Structure 1
Amino acid sequence: MSVEEHGLSHVIFVANNRLVRVRYSGEQQVLHTEQQSFFFYCPEHNSTFKGYFDGAIRVRKIKILFLATGQELKVNSAKFHNKVYQAIKDISTAIGLAENEIKLRDHQHLTFDIFAKDKGGANTLSHTFREIADRYESQRQSISSAHTSITYVIASIPMARRLLKGADIDYLSDEPFTKLYQKIESAFNKSCQVNKIDQAALLANGVSPFVRYDENEVANVSGELIYIGVNPNNAETRFCVHWEADKLVDTLRFVFFADKSDETHHNYGKFVNQAIAAVIEFSDEVDWKKESDDIIVRVHQHIMLNV
């Protein structure tokens, strides 16, 4: 098999019409919902070759998921990308596809609790943010100039009981949570304004966001998912807010989008710090218990090119 010949040890074949999600976990497992497949793994000690499909169903597209393994993921990311690229070239040739028929997406994300230090965590993380292709160039691995790239930050905020305190909630009303969400939206807007963030979304409708490069910047809710199209070449101010006054969600999600200027080497870290500062500003507004409750932040970097 091509993947083994290229030294790839964690590869999954997916043909089930579901959105693929990858998350870190010490225990390797796979969970499926109606529209999503979650793959949990630890890069340091998990690896597998497996397929998820129903031979009786013709799917819209086939996905091959390559998961990085080892301890130094960032240091070795360019080499890993090159192995995947070469494996995909071999697969394309073997099944007789024309050039550029396969889309190769390189997804990387860094996940952390922004209040880990408040809980007594002694270790701090030093991370230099650079656009993926730029970082690969520094590692002597060139990426096609025809690639597209997006960067965004998602903060997941549990609907803790303290968020409900101070909000006028009439449980006999058809829309009992209107004032709660207005309070949350006001705090969100203030946190963005204070930290000079002008491209962001507030999602409090129980759907899970997935972000893709899209010059038309389409946003679409479908079942348990919301698709958000992002064009980093558009630097105009834009905000997206979704909440439903009759539904109390388990988790609030803030999404902060980088434009092209944010992806430059000098501004990348600034963008991430602005997003983190906005979440901290929001937490101060709602009296968050930093020493006990988490707010998980994921910094996402994507590139896409045709193979």
Structure 2
Amino acid sequence: MSLSHQQKVYLPKEARTKQFITAEIKVTDALLSQYPDYQTCYQSLSRLVFNLAEQHDLRNVHVITNDKLPVVRFHTEAYCFQTTEQILFFYNPAYHEAQNLFTQENYRARKLRIVFLATGESIRSNSASFHTRVREFLNQLMPKLPISDLKVKIRDHQHLSYDLFAKSKGYKETYGYKLRAIEPRYKARKCELPENVSSLTYVTVSLPLSRRLKQGLLPDSATDFTPLYQHLEDSFLKAAAGKQLTRLAMIANGLTPLVRNSKFEKLDSKTEVQMIGFDPNALEQQVICNWDADNLVEEAHFIIVAGTKDADDVGFGRFMNNVEAALKTFAADISVDPEREDLIIRFHQHISYQI
């Protein structure tokens, strides 16, 4: 195999791309003192945000003042669901547009979080332009706020998702991706980032714990699910080790894993979210396995995190080829049927910084 071929990963044409950016502004006593009550503050600030967003052609913008975590997924129809700790946005960037304020009566928010969902076509190739428009929006917004010493933290999230077994289901057409890191992509498009950027690249896979899988590993009426979880853990770690992948996690406790750069982020798990941290610069192996032998969950989550050395000048193509090979070995070991079952891979690229 040629070097150039190894540096690309060939994904199905049907792979979906997403991008969303969040801007987090700490809600201080000084900010709240400019308004008679919480709701007036949130309503006033959201109107300012929405009016300014129109001027910058930002068409899918939401303001969150109840401290819930935004989660973004693709769907052909637009939906928005709230749980105790999360707000789930389902949308198609090709044609869905919206503006919403999410608030809670008499609740003092820790953060004012603005969520910008990318819209239009060619989301990945236009990601730098979208980031630039959000920065221009924030540069105009901050001086309009009633106090001047507020800081804003920007998080840029980009995802590629696809079925690892798309080809087995007849989707033969593929497209070669180099999967360049965000910073050089943006620099090439004249979108300058500050020096204090934290970045993290990783892959997540959610494996439904099917009836077939459970019946093959558990006795009837089992109440101890250790054999199931231990087999999944052992198979996953062995397959990853075969491709020299060393930053790994298996989460099967009913919580949604949230991956952060542990060098920069404080980890704080909640009722619905399992925070897990990795340092991409560390050389030692990092493995996190969290499951409960007494609790049979609907799905298990597997995470493979890229290290600093996994990105060369070309991109993460070689890393993703190793990830795909490891996951195919893992799937074969647990008898996933590639023609009938999906194994959805999500390739995540995140950056964050404060301005």
- TM > 0.5 fold call: yes
| Residue of structure 1 in register with 2:117 after alignment | 67
Change (3 A) 1:251 1:73: same
| Residue of structure 1 in register with 2:143 after alignment | 93
Change (3 A) 1:63 1:291: same
Q: Distance in 1 between matches of 2:265 and 2:221?
A: 37
1:274 to 322, 325, 331: 322
Q: Deviations over 1:89-146 (max 9, x none)?
A: 2111111555671001111101111111111113223222111111111112211122
2:197 to 144, 147, 150: 147
| Residue of structure 2 in register with 1:190 after alignment | 238
> CA RMSD for the aligned pairs?
1.8
Q: Deviations over 1:58-108 (max 9, x none)?
A: 111111001111111112111110000111121111115556710011111
Given that 2:247 and 2:286 are in contact with CA atoms closer than 8 Å, whether structure 1 keeps it comes out as yes
Asked if 1:203 is matched to 2:203, the reply is no
5+ residue gaps, structure 1, are none
Q: Distance in 1 between matches of 2:99 and 2:219?
A: 50
The aligned runs of 1:248-267 (5 Å cut-off) are 248-266=296-314
Give the number of aligned pairs: 305
Asked if 1:222 is matched to 2:267, the reply is no
Change (3 A) 1:206 1:156: same
| Residue of structure 1 in register with 2:29 after alignment | none
Q: Relative to structure 2, which stretch is displaced further, 234-243 or 213-222? A: 213-222
Q: TM-score, normalised by structure 1?
A: 0.94
Given that 1:170 and 1:177 are in contact with CA atoms closer than 8 Å, whether structure 2 keeps it comes out as no
Q: Distance in 2 between matches of 1:30 and 1:61?
A: 20
Q: Distance in 1 between matches of 2:353 and 2:58?
A: 20
Residue 166 of structure 1 aligns to a residue in which SS?
Answer: helix
| Residue of structure 2 in register with 1:303 after alignment | 351
| Residue of structure 2 in register with 1:136 after alignment | 186
Q: TM-score, normalised by structure 2?
A: 0.82
Q: Distance in 2 between matches of 1:214 and 1:91?
A: 30
Percent identity, aligned pairs only?
A: 34
Residue 189 of structure 1 aligns to a residue in which SS?
Answer: helix
Q: Distance in 1 between matches of 2:352 and 2:343?
A: 29
Asked if 1:178 is matched to 2:178, the reply is no
Residue 293 of structure 1 aligns to a residue in which SS?
Answer: coil
Q: Distance in 2 between matches of 1:26 and 1:142?
A: 33
Given that 1:112 and 1:296 are in contact with CA atoms closer than 8 Å, whether structure 2 keeps it comes out as yes
The aligned runs of 1:101-112 (5 Å cut-off) are 101-112=151-162
| Residue of structure 2 in register with 1:46 after alignment | 96
Q: Distance in 2 between matches of 1:63 and 1:217?
A: 17
Q: Distance in 2 between matches of 1:29 and 1:120?
A: 30
| Residue of structure 2 in register with 1:8 after alignment | 58
2:234 maps to a residue whose letter is S
Change (3 A) 1:14 1:64: same
5+ residue gaps, structure 2, are 1-50
Q: Relative to structure 2, which stretch is displaced further, 272-281 or 248-257? A: 272-281
| Residue of structure 1 in register with 2:208 after alignment | 158
Given that 2:65 and 2:112 are in contact with CA atoms closer than 8 Å, whether structure 1 keeps it comes out as yes
Q: Distance in 2 between matches of 1:259 and 1:16?
A: 34
Asked if 1:82 is matched to 2:118, the reply is no
Given that 2:67 and 2:111 are in contact with CA atoms closer than 8 Å, whether structure 1 keeps it comes out as yes
1:34 to 49, 60, 84: 84
